[in-house]
Homo-oligomer: A and B are copies of this chain.
Amino acid sequence: MSPRQLHLNVNLLHSGVYPSAWRLTDSQADAFIDIAHYVRVAGIAERGLFDAIFLADTPSISDRIDYRPFNALEPTIVLASLAAATTRIGLIATASTSYNEPFNLARRFASLDHVSAGRVGWNVVTTADAAASRNFGLQAAVDHAARYDRAREFVDVVHALWDSWEDDAFLGDKATGRFVDTAKVHAIAHRGTTFSVDGPLNVPRSPQGRPVTVQAGGSNDGRDLAAATAEAVFTLSQTIEDGVAYARDLRARAATFGRPPGSIVILPGLATVIGSTEAEARRRQDELWELVPIEYSLARLAGTLQIAPERLDLDKPLPDRLPLPANANHTMFQGTVALARRDTLTVRQLLRALGGGVGHRILVGTPEAVADDIEAWFRAGAADGFNLMPDVLPSGLETFVETVVPILQKRGLFRTAYAGTTLRDHLGLERPASRYAGAEAVAIPA
């Protein structure tokens, strides 16, 4: 049996996870809308044998676009283009259950799985953002519980549609003229609280059976959704203890849904600032921090906490009372508050520790130190791998691939070649059987 190995995704956040990444001399300011930039980063990640490229998303301008790049290009479009420019690396796109129709989403990801020969994952998000709701006919953000109710049913419908073609439904028999065995194509006839969907999907079963289901919610509802449906989770933990606690909790929840404990790959976010010496790494961190306008960092922190920026005093700690807002990003909120309380940071110190708006844990150091930290989290059971967020792209990823990956490989922690061809192969996930395999066909419309 081969030893357990790390999984590595790269979170392809335009110019890098630092809000100031685009301002470095060797950065391309318009990288966020240049597909050539995405192709370049994907090529480096594939050379580094990463499991997947990960694209975050929100269907609105949710950020301070006057200061920094943002998620602009729609992720499935970018990944379809990257599928043509790469051959092995997985491709994970974020898409919202609140602002899509399950039929369209199931079809787009199944198509992408065909186009990429089985390399696709769907990161399920419910989109808390109020600005997004106003782009879809609503005047306020949808309530947390309602969003998750819809999400659960949405994922069920999408999975059923992905199952609606059995593996051997396509015949293409030139002699008899039979193109499809329609007894193996199933209407899903879903009648739920929110959705009514007949199906079947008009796309034959995709190479992975189903694209990989990824989830990122840290709230109670989010964890339950992940435990019930996700095959990989993208999490936020600021400390190894938090990471271990999260993993235990999630695996226990998965067990209550009858799923084996190893069926979910847990990938905390990890921002990296790497230098050939500790001092060089610190200098790079300083440079990136100094290029973030303070008013931006402050607005971003106030947004995470959902309080007025005026309540934050740069030279004092966070206000004492900070109740969890109803529509907050729970994980981001709790991670941020915990970080501030743990080291009793002033707001200014907290902003710096957050990289001016990075959000996730920032690891600053030499390649050795970064590899040590990754190994420690992995061995402690705090992570099955990481969703890597390089400070600057492509340079931060290039450094990681050239300096950290070889150390991890030498330690036997990371693959030295792709063993399989699909994202499921990379993540060690089974190819699911269709729920309809062998079932009596429900008549499909002629």
Chain A residues in the interface with B (C-beta under 8 A): 20, 22-23, 25, 27, 29-30, 33-35, 39, 58-62, 64-74, 76-78, 80-85, 99-101, 103-104, 107-108, 111-112, 114-115, 130-131, 134-139, 170, 172-174, 177-182, 185, 195-200, 202-204, 291, 293, 299, 444-446
Contacts and interface: CB of A to CB of B under 8 A. Distances in A.
B179 A22 contact: yes
A107 B99 CA distance: 13
A198 B81 CA distance: 29
Contacts of A197: 134-137
A67 B177 contact: yes
Contacts of A58: 202
Given A81-B80, A172-B22, A114 B293 contact: no
B33 A78 contact: no
A202 B61 contact: yes
A135 B198 contact: yes
B203 A73 contact: yes
A34 B139 CA distance: 42
A107 B39 CA distance: 20
Contacts of A198: 131, 134-135
A22 B76 CA distance: 29
B135 A179 contact: no
Contact of A103 (B77, B136, B179): B136
Contacts of A62: 445
B73 A35 contact: no
B74 A179 contact: no
Contacts of A204: 33, 72
Contacts of A131: 198, 445
A427 to B, nearest CB: 22
B174 A22 contact: yes
The interface centre, meaning the residue of A22, A29, A76, A81 with most chain B CB atoms within 10 A of its CB, is A81
B179 A60 contact: no
Nearest to A292: B177
A182 B67 CA distance: 10
A376 B204 CA distance: 42
